[in-house]
Amino acid sequence: MSKLLQIRILKSGLHTSIQDLGRSGWQCMGVPLSGAMDGISHQLANWLVGNNSAVPTLEMTLVGPSIEFQGDAVFAITGANMNPTVDGEKIQMWKSIEINKGGTLEFSRTTAGARAYLAIQGGWQVEEWLGSVSRLPGRQDILPDNVIQVGFVIEIEVQGRAIQRSISETVKRAVLGPRTIRILPGPEYDFFDAVWIKEFGAQNHTIDKDSNRMGIRIEQHLAGIEQLGPMISSGVTPGTLQITRDGQPILLSVDGPTTGGYHRLAQVIHADLHHLGQLKPGGEIHFEWVDLQAAYIAGGHLRQELQFIS
């Protein structure tokens, strides 16, 4: 028998939103993919509570919310470590946890990573648009309740199934991994100076404060970019690394545009795309140039590690 669980937001955190796997197929209309920025942590959280990976989770950014459970529930937290507690007691991440009616789940500032994901067992009663619960950037009129504010109540139809799952250290390592983002040459790679390209891969880079779900800016300005000449706008996807007119590298993410007029230096391999969700403004990032073959092998490894959730 199912019953309706209500969770109430006591503190919103810095930027907390309801996310899923996003919407595909509308890119030709300029609609971004959206969805969880660290899609793997999102899926693992859902697996821990026995939900399908398409069920929404709460994506919490840098500083997490406080949430009151108005009924018994099973939840799990993955991704960034925001030191979660239940009624003041420290709890484990990467593990299914039972909470009783009246319990309060609290998060603080992250100590590792940028985004944490909270899955709660059951069917979330959340509005969708074009097949996803994710807010379209710049359009507060569509899905107005999917970015969380104080006082919001989310309703979840709970089945009440007992479940005890946890994520092994091996999988956690494969998912969290070293923070090196592997990149492939982008469509305009040949426009760039070979020495500069090599240096770009050898250096450590700092992530600009002005980074979000649309894009991650790198604190660097490449000189001489105007010599590259004009470019005719063309498609871009999450993981496209473009160099702006003033020479700044921007790594586009899930809410980013679908077309752009900047030179596309590189593209993040698909096995590393989820890492974008864990990059912290002010933190460091390191890129490694790889080839297509290496990219497909890396994708195969990741899928093998995650076979248990498919």
Partner 1 sequence: MKIKPFGDKAILLQFEDRIHPDIHSLVIHFLQVLKNKNIAGVQYYVPAFASITIGFDPQLWHFDDLAERISRFWSKIYSTPNVEKEGAMLRIPVCFDDQYALDRAELCAEIDMGWSDVIDLFTSTTYTVYMIGFLPGFPYLGLLPPKLACARKGVPRKKVPAQSVGLAGRQAGIYPSNSPGGWQIIGSTPVKPFDPMRSEYFLFESGVKVTFQQISTSSYKDITRQLEDSPDGVEAFYV
Q: Which residues bind partner 1 (CB under 8 A)?
A: 24-32, 129-130, 136, 138-139, 141-142, 184-187, 232-237, 239-240, 257-260, 264, 267-270, 292, 295-296, 299, 303
CB 58 to partner 1: min, Å? 24
Q: Coil, strand, or helix at residue 36? A: coil
Q: Which is nearer to partner 1, 62 or 225 (CB)?
A: 225
Q: Which is nearer to partner 1, 63 or 197 (CB)?
A: 197
Contact 71, 122 (CB under 8 A): no
CB 277 to partner 1: min, Å? 17
Q: Which is nearer to partner 1, 172 or 270 (CB)?
A: 270
Length of the chain: 310
Phi, psi of 300 (to 5 degrees): -65, -45
CB 48 to partner 1: min, Å? 23
Q: How far apart are CA 42 and CA 306, in angstroms?
A: 13
CB 269 to partner 1: min, Å? 5
Q: Coil, strand, or helix at residue 123? A: strand
Q: Which is nearer to partner 1, 70 or 191 (CB)?
A: 191
Q: How far apart are CA 42 and CA 49, in angstroms?
A: 11
Q: Which is nearer to partner 1, 103 or 186 (CB)?
A: 186
Which whole-number Å values give the CA distances from 215 to 15, 110, 206, in the listed order? 15, 20, 14
CB 233 to partner 1: min, Å? 6
